[in-house]
Structure 1
């Protein structure tokens, strides 16, 4: 065996990031009174637990299928225990990624209030009147159409070997995005700065460490089932995967906060 293992990857990159964010969060919570995403305390972590459980359940069959198809694989001696076609380290990643992203998101500041319809925060001024009910419905309709379009694009991509991985991500991601955008796109747009920053930072970090894992041979992506397009050596499909999964987590937690605030 030569080169780092999947377990060493977690100990080198994922666990230290989680530990660092946890320490930073502890300091932040003791020194600030600003309204952060997780200022609801226990309910926030209930949301994290729900999102993490859903991530594991929803991702496991998809991940095992793509490994079985040969879309990606692992270097010899880099993994030890397998559950189905996926190594144990893969399931650990399913759990750690939502926690890492949740720890980062939890420190970000929310905008005050939750507009029930006008997600852009616009109000009625003088003669200008907004039909807020129709506006909210319009946003949700746009979200439904966008997610449906992604799903259709994914289904089309699944028909060609070189776009199989790309199509699998789009087709797999579309149902979750459809639900999130239909349920709460106005609220997500209202908190768009927090949501965008919540997605961007962990996604960039995961792109970097994924590139390291590929370069060191911990896992490899099949050229047969990918487009060959790369971003600084990172396959387009890998970049898209981490973007989509972090969208799932961040949007899910922001909407969870919205629901809890409505019930409070």
Structure 2
């Protein structure tokens, strides 16, 4: 019988190798683009820790998921060290996959269109009360409702900023979201089967695909789309700022003295 792997062993086998492979396959940008991409990734990792930690801690304390005896070495705020590593690893995997697939962050006219921005904000804002209502309606909806309420504010903010850009580039962010999510679905199912962690059936709907609860599937999609949209919008905003700060040569003010009008009378001339 194979012993239950610890959370850190899970990362060594399933997470870190794919992260290293994607890093190796990452495109070689010029220095400016490389610095901009690195800044976006660093900011997204920091946001992932700040925004995800309270939600994960709450869900663990409620018992939505738990871990096998001996699978966790260190905890902080009820969260295992391996879970903290997952915050960064998933964000980095999604980021490298996004850059490997490629995307164009160029700002275009119409990217500030009101219709997609308003629609995105409306959906994101509505997700919060809907998610909270589900959480308190029935214990089996805790995970699903909590996830919906957690994602809503971020989607609302992202679409408020760049809804027009996101609306015209759906293939980019959908592909970069779903491909890593599919990988995480597989390895998450393996970890559950091996007993490293357990999803509480009393806090889930009981609907599963090949043994993987739909809440887990939705989590990886949600976390992925928030990371992808954050990364593409970071570079898109930077491009918009670059274009906004450039003053066209045609409207630049002259720096030298103004040329004189040859037809104007000479003020120093005297009449004979």
**TM-score class normalised by the smaller sequence:** 0.7 to 0.9
CA drift at 1:29: 2.5
For residues 114 and 106 of structure 1, what CA distance do their matches in structure 2 show? 18
State whether residues 106 and 236 of structure 2, in contact with CA within 8 Å, keep that contact through their aligned partners in structure 1.
no
Change (3 A) 1:154 1:204: same
Task: Please tell me whether residue 230 in structure 1 is matched to residue 208 in structure 2.
Answer: yes
Aligned mates of 1:109, 1:169 — CA distance in 2 = 28
Instruction: Name structure 1 gaps, 5 residues minimum.
Output: 120-132
What is the Cα-based RMSD across aligned positions, in Å?
Answer: 1.8
Matched, 1:110 2:103: yes
- Superposition deviation, residue 200 in structure 1: 1.1
Q: CA deviation at 1:189?
A: 1.8
Match of 1:262 among 222, 229, 240: 240
* Equivalent position SS for 2:100: coil
The answer for the alignment partner of 1:83 in structure 2 is 76
1:263 Cα offset (Å): 2.2
Moved more, 214-223 or 141-150: 141-150
Pairwise mapping of residues 50-61 of structure 1 onto structure 2 (< 5 A)?
A: 50-61=43-54
Aligned to 1:29: 28
In 2, the alpha carbon distance for the partners of 1:199 and 1:244 equals 8
Whichever of the two has the greater Rg, that structure is 2
Q: Please, which of 180, 183, 187 is the counterpart of residue 205 of structure 1?
A: 183
Deviations 1:38-95 (A, max 9, x none): 9811111111011110100111111111111111000111111111211111101111
Number of paired residues? 240
Q: Does the aligned pair in 2 maintain the 1:203–1:246 contact within 8 Å? A: yes
**TM-score of the two chains, using structure 2 as the length reference:** 0.84
> Counterpart of 1:125?
none
1:193 paired to 2:192: no
Structure 1 residues 29 and 77, CA, compared in 2 at 3 Å: closer, same or farther?
Answer: same
Tell me the residue number matched to 1:92.
85
Deviation at residue 193 of structure 1 after TM alignment: 1.4
Could you state the TM-score of these two structures normalised by the residue count of structure 1? 0.86
Q: Which of 41, 44, 50 pairs up with 2:34?
A: 41
**Distance in 1 separating the partners of 2:220 and 2:152:** 14
Alpha-carbon shift at residue 2 of structure 1 (Å):
3.0
Say whether 1:149 aligns with 2:150: no
Q: Which runs of structure 1 show a deviation greater than 2 angstroms over 4 or more consecutive aligned residues?
A: 108-116
> Separation in 1 of the partners of 2:105 and 2:203?
45
**Structure 2 residue aligned with 1:17:** 18
What is the distance in 2 between the residues matched to 1:103 and 1:58? 21
For residue 109 of structure 1, report the CA deviation from its aligned partner. 2.9
Match of 2:254 in 1: none
Segments of structure 2 that go 5 or more residues without pairing to the other structure are: 243-272
Between stretches 85-94 and 1-10, larger displacement belongs to 1-10
Deviations along 1:152-200, one digit per CA (max 9) or x if unpaired, are 2201111110101100000011011110011111111222211111111
- Contact 1:115 1:190 (8 Å CA) reproduced: no
